[in-house]
Amino acid sequence: MKKIIYTSNAPAAIGPYSQAVETNGMLFISGQVPINPETGKVIEGGITEQTEQVMKNIEAILNEAGYTFADVIKSTCLLSDMANFAAMNAVYGKYYPENPPARAAFAVKELPLGVLVEIETIASKKQS
């Protein structure tokens, strides 16, 4: 059985999808972009500021579902330009100081709302 996860502390979905879905001890968080949930607008700044906001949005959803960054097992990072990889990585790494999750990072042609970064996340409570 799946459970839809929603929090007002992360941006509302901008399409026909849920912020996150939990099933069988696993949490699947939709790709998060750097929207400030209080204003509903993309935050100002470059890749560092945008990545920080994305990670805050992910954290809010993890918290709402009863998970932490320690439960994250896989991330997929989408970048508008691979030239932003190092700066994104520096912010991302602060959230995973030990035992970081598996990850893939891709440069894509374009991201929603013209943002520089989008990150989707999978977390699990069924870790051995």
Domain count, the chain: 1
Nearest-angstrom CA–CA distance, 69 and 109: 28
pLDDT in tens, the chain (128 residues): 899 999 999 999 888 999 999 999 999 999 999 999 999 999 999 999 999 999 999 999 999 999 999 999 999 999 999 999 999 999 999 999 999 999 999 999 999 999 999 999 999 997 55
Residue 19 to residue 11: CA distance in whole angstroms: 8
CB contact at 8 A, 73 and 122: yes
Phi and psi (nearest 5°) for 3? -120, 125
Q: In CATH, what number is assigned to the domain containing residue 97?
A: 3.30.1330.40
Q: What is the DSSP letter of 32?
A: E
Range of the domain at 16: 2-124
pLDDT score for 103: 98
CA distances from 67 to 35, 84, 99, 114 (A): 21, 28, 16, 29
